[in-house]
Structure 1
């Protein structure tokens, strides 16, 4: 016959398991579905842990813009702040978010709190503790490639914290390798050619991103978008795969040609350039 202490431990364990089973599974929560009928980019709710991968470190600004663009939509009267976490040494190398740039992006710099940690363990500790704060709408953490402290166990703990608190966590990652993680969503992001100005087609216009969904809940097909930033947030460009939103490919040339100085050259100037090329 089991001892009384053993019976008490078994009863406590059964109660713990029953409590876990009563909680709804994350994958079954309806508002976490990323599939859309019309192919447009979905507006994601809070409480998600998202990995944002970009192949090259030089694209870190594009990743930060995408994360802040999502975090901006999560700000409310009660959740008034977004945290940006970065290692101190990385801040010296890559810089920090720029206040006037945030304003042009429609993001109030007063709502962004900068945290610079000494090492990755401290950074992950700050992220986990900040997830418990109900005044935080989102946390953007500049993680890098594959830091040792961020193993599957740590990512699982962060994932559960985000789902429980309703605060979104955006992990900025770099490189082409992938490791197992408990992130709800994983993106592959790259900069895209910007939009055009109404009165000057050669001037850079609205920021654009090329986005591919590598991991997500309720995926039934490969999903990717080209997003453009507007006053109302992200706007997915329709039919961009058909070439309507990107420059048309030109046929290859059989021999070298001198580059034109600008698109505004007259036809006579172009003819002279072609004649010079033929004489070479």
Structure 2
């Protein structure tokens, strides 16, 4: 029994060291905490959304940009729950800061940096990711090379800051050193019966790549301050439509 326990401990330690070398280091004060993303978190190593790492988001049009921004805000809201600040660095920012309150983010917790050149955005993102006083950094840019992305990943491995790279219509979807690659598209919201206006934002979220995890896709709605999964609800609605047609 003791021999089996020893082998198990060795295996866990080896797995921890491998994940650490690949950018999944745990915080110095203990293991990473769950951000309560439900099924989505199960796709990641140790079933915890990786903080202190860089995540890549791809968009192919303005609708996708808006959807991806909303999804990122949902992630950031959870990251900033325990305090801290975020830098949002871009050239053509379209985000309306007061709208962040819907995702649980106080606007004064986010500092916007608007620059004129993409190379300046990349430089500012790298320098910001080195600042351990921050919780997260968002960089909106189009092009980034593998070597440049490695510099960003090395920065967060020391600072433990979480980085989001949002790329709209890049010339090529090249390999990067980011721990994950996402693609988010909007899906129609559902209005309550007899209620005017618009429903809660909904997205089709694809986790295209994740290091040492399992890619997947989900249909999500942001409501009641959290991500809610729609698969069961969508199946019920489809069933009702089939009954009506029949």
Deviation at 1:59, TM superposition (A): 2.3
> For the residues of structure 2 that align with 1:58 and 1:159, how far apart are their CA atoms?
29
Structure 2 length normalisation: TM-score?
0.74
Q: Is the counterpart of residue 24 in structure 1 residue 20 in structure 2?
A: yes
Q: Of the candidates 69, 74, 94, which is equivalent to residue 74 of structure 2?
A: 69
Change (3 A) 1:83 1:236: same
Deviation at 1:226, TM superposition (A): 0.8
Q: Is the counterpart of residue 184 in structure 1 residue 155 in structure 2?
A: no
Query: Are the aligned partners of 2:25 and 2:157 in contact in 1 as well (CA < 8 Å)?
Result: no
User: Which residue number corresponds to residue 194 of structure 1?
Assistant: 189
* Partner SS, residue 52 of structure 1: strand
> For the residues of structure 1 that align with 2:174 and 2:76, how far apart are their CA atoms?
25
Query: Are the aligned partners of 1:86 and 1:115 in contact in 2 as well (CA < 8 Å)?
Result: yes
* Partner SS, residue 39 of structure 2: coil
Q: Is the counterpart of residue 84 in structure 1 residue 88 in structure 2?
A: yes
Deviation at 1:52, TM superposition (A): 0.8
Change (3 A) 1:183 1:197: same
**Largest Rg, 1 or 2:** 1
Query: Are the aligned partners of 1:80 and 1:111 in contact in 2 as well (CA < 8 Å)?
Result: yes
Change (3 A) 1:203 1:99: same
Structure 1 length normalisation: TM-score?
0.66
Calculate the aligned-residue CA RMSD, in Å: 3.4
Query: Are the aligned partners of 2:77 and 2:103 in contact in 1 as well (CA < 8 Å)?
Result: no
Q: Of the candidates 104, 124, 127, which is equivalent to residue 125 of structure 2?
A: 127
Equivalent residues, number: 215
> For the residues of structure 1 that align with 2:209 and 2:237, how far apart are their CA atoms?
25
**Structure 1 unaligned regions, length at least 5:** 1-20, 33-38, 251-280
> For the residues of structure 1 that align with 2:109 and 2:90, how far apart are their CA atoms?
17
> For the residues of structure 2 that align with 1:234 and 1:175, how far apart are their CA atoms?
26
